[in-house]
Amino acid sequence: MSGTALALALMIADPVILGSNPQAISEETDPDGETLQGQADRDMRMTVDVAVQGSGPYRFLIDTGSQRTVVSTALAGNLGLALGPRVKIVGMAGRDQVATAKVSSLDIGSQSVYGLTVPLLDDAHIGADGIIGTDSLQDQRVLLDFTKNTITIGDRHHLGGNQGYEIIVRARRRSGRLIMTNARIDGIHVNVVVDTGSSTTVGNRALQRALRDRQVGQATLSSVTGHTLAADMGLAKELHVDGLYIENVLIAFADAPAFAELKLDKRPAIFLGMRELRVFNRIAIDFTSRKILFDLPQ
């Protein structure tokens, strides 16, 4: 977000949970998955320590809105990674053809991923040494604990199953991302992608047209590709997902290429960012069972 957009966000009331229809409330069992100490960057996103081919640790952003795992150009050069073919990458604000590198192993705590071909992007645009995308998380559950500022990655059974979560939402998988389809914003049906790589919730123009006059200012969206994109800032009264209600949802409306890439540009859709996600105690994103689990504040 631009400085103007950030100042605007600070003047608007924080999102809050209005109410819920709990499905299950119980204590979570002690997980066997490894818990990593997270670190919030200046954009409220979560980063963790990652080893690349045995070297590190390096700070990588956990981004459930990104299909591809990414390494910064500077880190690839420092490690002498072998270059691969150029590929197309789609960011929130633009598309680009970028170089790739071969990564033999990527270690996130005790979890390892092998044989990756990763796009290379400028670390100044990423805001970290790299990005952990959904291609490295497909058989895992990612548990973000905002009360402890920790991230746990592991098998869903080892992380307590569904215990301790009041709201459990089934999602659909598309291009590696999980999409919640049973959601409404101020009565408008909307598709929702949980995007831990963005501080801001971004909506498409179809949603902006459906909500009509909700504009409260302008902003500039910045992408990991280095592109920028003009956006209209709007404020929705309420986001409703199954039994969950969140009010004061600040949305940046833009013609973001990421919507078209997921075929979400024709009907109302949002990438739900960290400003709204941080109202919860915990969120678990389970790529194996295609569920998103929410632990509500008391």
Q: Of how many residues is the chain composed?
A: 298
User: Which residue in the block uniquely carries the two structure tokens 């929705």?
Assistant: 236
Within this chain, domains 3-158 and 167-295 share the same CATH topology: yes
Return the CATH number of the domain spanning residue range 3-158.
Answer: 2.40.70.10
Q: Is 167-295 a domain of CATH 2.30.42.10?
A: no
Question: What secondary structure, in 3-state letters, does 111-171 show?
Answer: EEEEEEEEEEECHHHHCCCEEECHHHCCCCEEEEECCCCEEEEECCCCCCCCCCCCEEEEC
Q: What is each CA distance from 35 to 31, 38, 107, 113, 128, in whole angstroms?
A: 9, 9, 13, 17, 20
Q: What does the domain layout of the chain look like in residue ranges?
A: 3-158, 167-295
- Contact between 38 and 46 (Cβ < 8 Å): yes
- Contact between 152 and 36 (Cβ < 8 Å): yes
pLDDT class of 15 with cuts at 50, 70, 90: low
pLDDT class of 213 with cuts at 50, 70, 90: low
- Contact between 44 and 199 (Cβ < 8 Å): yes
pLDDT class of 85 with cuts at 50, 70, 90: very high
Summarize the confidence of residues 70-77 as an average pLDDT.
96
Higher pLDDT, 190 or 56: 190
Q: What is each CA distance from 265 to 39, 219, 257, 268, in whole angstroms?
A: 32, 20, 8, 7
Q: What is the pLDDT of residue 176?
A: 86
Least confident window among 66-80, 211-225, 230-244: 211-225
